[in-house]
Amino acid sequence: MDSIIVTGGGELDGQIPIAGAKNACLTLMPATLLSEEPLTLTNAPRLSDIKTMTELLSSLGAEVSSLQGGKVLAMSSHNLNNHTAHYDIVRKMRASNLVLGPMLARLGHAIVSLPGGCAIGARPMDLHIDALEALGAEIELKDGYLHAQAPGGLKGATHELRFASVGATENTVMAATLAKGTTVLKNAAREPEIVDLVRCLRKMGAQIDGEGTSTITIQGVDRLGGATHQVVTDRIELGTYMLAPAIAGGTVECLGGRIELVQAFCEKLDQCGISVEETEAGLKVSRKNGRIRAIDVVTEVFPGFPTDLQAQMMALLCTADGTSVLEEKIFENRFMHAPELVRMGAEIDVQGGLATVHGVDRLKGAPVMATDLRASVSLILAGLAAEGETIVSRVYHLDRGYEQVVRKFSGVGAKIERVQLK
């Protein structure tokens, strides 16, 4: 099994190219199920999750070709021959549930296994089910599978989500594009990945308004066509690499970065004493002066502080001057990285959804274990600031969300390598 070895102590300098957004691409790919015509995605990230979604779509009869080294995905769903998303594929990744809405809208029926993914909380499907049932779907849970049908087709309706769920918003918007009449989705999620999805669907002929706000209106159409669409920059990868010079020192320019993708995150960096400067090519990040200042962080739905940057932010605050409090309000059980940071000398107290971090002068390298995708990269970041060698095991999580992570870190001077340890 692979591990990553990080030797801390050196400042970073240079440029890091930021990939297309994993969460956007995983949402855009199922959109091919809505049309018989081709959908092509450019700026696709090269990740194991993308391969899993490719496997899932192929199992349904879609054709998916990976071009230009995986940066372009050419898809066609003109010959769908299966309406069951099986457990052996769906269990690998939470985003697999996003085939439910498109299949139900186009085929009138779908059977989808309950999904898997990182062990960071239950993340139930009830919000998806409620919204699709509001559009006229009949859904029953049997033997771990959602059996959904809409014999007379989906029909537009007004529905308010109990929670601004990204996945439920995406599933509902895609389903509503082919529903009869108008759908008004209230308390919709506002993430950039949803805005990106709507822009793609609009290119395919969908009639949608309100993306980026809490109310999205979809006027159903008879059919959707094909399109070519560029995947938006990954704001989570962007925020992760922005933290590298904040933790290790030095200056790094994140190519393709934009402030509007990470506004709340940038505000917290400023409070910590981190400079973020917009350039023609992206965002340039460096420490302002001296030691990082302690701050408090609360994760919230967009446009608040992203839960997917909480673990990385904790790594930064481990060496801050003072005491920081992080409150996780999106997912339960998402402080599993804290005990691993403690192994490196951090002082962290976790009580339910609150983590209190007492800054220390220096972390020390140690063998640590990744527990989920974002936790894995937070331990690498901590290793950049630690004395000596940090060995991060179970890094297969990392491959789900970060492409060429060793190359990108080493390209700005980090001492990092990926090895196979017995």
- Show binding-site residues: 22-23, 94, 123-127, 308, 330
For residues 330 and 356, state if they share a domain. yes
| pLDDT value at 118 more than 60 | no
For residues 244 and 386, state if they share a domain. yes
For residues 205 and 256, state if they share a domain. no
| pLDDT value at 117 more than 50 | no
| pLDDT value at 338 more than 60 | yes
| pLDDT value at 8 more than 70 | yes
| pLDDT value at 253 more than 80 | yes
| pLDDT band (50, 70, 90) for residue 307 | very high
pLDDT in the model for residue 30: 98
| pLDDT band (50, 70, 90) for residue 116 | low
Q: Output the six-digit token pair for 160.
A: 């308010």
- Show binding-site residues for UDP-N-acetyl-alpha-D-glucosamine: 94, 123-127, 308, 330
Segment 214-222 shows an average pLDDT of 98
- Where a domain ends, among 177, 207, 230? 230
Residue 156's domain comprises 22-230
- Where a domain ends, among 182, 205, 230? 230
| pLDDT value at 342 more than 80 | yes
For residues 239 and 385, state if they share a domain. yes
Active site positions, annotated: 118
| pLDDT band (50, 70, 90) for residue 192 | very high
Residue 338 dihedral angles phi and psi, to the nearest 5°: -60, -50
User: H-type helices in 100-207, by residue range?
Assistant: 100-107, 126-134, 166-176, 192-203
pLDDT more than 90, % of the chain: 87
| pLDDT band (50, 70, 90) for residue 122 | very low
pLDDT more than 70, % of the chain: 98
For residues 62 and 135, state if they share a domain. yes
Name the one residue in this structure whose structure tokens are 């000398």: 345
Q: 278: which strand partners? A: 283
| pLDDT value at 270 more than 80 | yes
pLDDT in the model for residue 41: 98
pLDDT in the model for residue 56: 97
Q: How far apart are CA 206 and CA 173, in angstroms?
A: 10
Q: Which amino acid is at 363?
A: L
pLDDT in the model for residue 121: 42
369-400 confidence digits (pLDDT tens):
988 888 899 999 999 999 999 999 999 888 88
For residues 281 and 383, state if they share a domain. yes
pLDDT in the model for residue 124: 67
Segment 313-321 shows an average pLDDT of 97
For residues 87 and 56, state if they share a domain. yes
Segment 227-256 shows an average pLDDT of 97
- Show binding-site residues for phosphoenolpyruvate: 22-23
| pLDDT value at 147 more than 90 | yes
| pLDDT value at 173 more than 90 | yes
- Where a domain ends, among 176, 203, 230? 230
73-91 confidence digits (pLDDT tens):
999 999 999 999 999 999 8
For residues 143 and 244, state if they share a domain. no
For residues 109 and 13, state if they share a domain. no
User: Mean pLDDT, the chain, as a whole number?
Assistant: 94
Q: How far apart are CA 386 and CA 166, in angstroms?
A: 35
Q: Output the six-digit token pair for 217.
A: 């209106």
Query: Which residue did the predictor score with more confidence, 57 or 334?
Result: 57
Sign, CA dihedral 251-253-259-264, equals negative
Residue 163: exposure state from Cβ atoms within 10 A (0-12, 13-18, ≥19): exposed
What is the domain-level CATH number for residue 197?
3.65.10.10
pLDDT in the model for residue 155: 98
For residues 254 and 286, state if they share a domain. yes
Q: Output the six-digit token pair for 27.
A: 């949402």
For residues 112 and 258, state if they share a domain. no
Q: 155: which strand partners? A: 180
For residues 218 and 296, state if they share a domain. no
| pLDDT band (50, 70, 90) for residue 422 | low
Number of compact structural domains in the chain? 2
Q: Is the Cβ–Cβ distance between 181 and 136 less than 8 Å?
A: no
pLDDT in the model for residue 129: 94
| pLDDT band (50, 70, 90) for residue 195 | very high
| pLDDT band (50, 70, 90) for residue 99 | very high
